[in-house]
Structure 1
């Protein structure tokens, strides 16, 4: 299993991200997602307010890749993991609560998407680019 250290958790929670999935025919989909939070050092969760291809793909193939990037600092990481769609329970309730605190008028999330981290790959330019974080 991949592991998230404190620095990486802070990075994930404070930068933009895109979630990549594939459908049953192998056709990729990439969608921007906000609200990424680390539940612990092996699990990420985000709110899915506008379910579409991403959630449909996860239902058929739960393997995802999440790209998190800070373009100003030229720093980024790819997180590979297995996603699970939650539409009830304590994790879902916590995500709904967090979204309701945001200073914008957003719909109630259809899902909380829980991602169990399998590996983290460094995408920051330099000698460690492309290497898996341990």
Structure 2
């Protein structure tokens, strides 16, 4: 697995949101935002409340891309990796509770409160396999961390 550098973990947490890109059996891309998340050393967890397009795509194709960007500084990062569903208790509940506790400390909107009360929530585990800078002044096709040969990653 790719270790997520502390600088990038802090950057993602400061933004408070990232986008998840998926494709499913029809090969149509889907992008959805995530604010309920937790970043560990080499994995990112997030909560899936709705089980719509992204959820179906996760099951059909576990390869996803996440991207985070700060428009003021023109700085960002992208990771490609594999998702899986955390189903084992009590691990699932502990991760879910830690994510909800963190988001409620920083976001007091009614929508966030309502979502945090939902019972039927999936916990998604994302294992980054390769990471890239999205900074315009850097070479965005140059890998910033990988545990695979990223040049062959999406070749047929």
TM-score (norm 2): 0.76
* Structure 2 SS opposite 1:127: coil
The match for 2:8 is 8
CA distance in 2, matches of 1:36, 1:130: 26
Q: In proportion to residue count, which structure has more strand?
A: 1
The match for 2:21 is 20
Gaps of 5+ in 2: 146-156
The alignment covers a number of residue pairs equal to 133
Q: Larger Rg: 1 or 2?
A: 2
For the Cα contact (< 8 Å) 1:12–1:37, is it kept in 2? no
Q: In proportion to residue count, which structure has more helix?
A: 2
Q: How does 1:110-129 map to 2 (within 5 A)?
A: 110-129=121-140
TM-score (norm 1): 0.88
Task: Report the alpha carbon displacement of residue 26 of structure 1 after superposing the two structures with TM.
Answer: 0.9
Q: How does 1:17-96 map to 2 (within 5 A)?
A: 17-40=18-41, 42-96=42-96
Gaps of 5+ in 1: none
Task: Report the alpha carbon displacement of residue 48 of structure 1 after superposing the two structures with TM.
Answer: 1.1
CA distance in 2, matches of 1:66, 1:74: 17
Could you list the runs of 4 or more consecutive aligned residues of structure 1 that deviate by over 6 angstroms after TM superposition? none
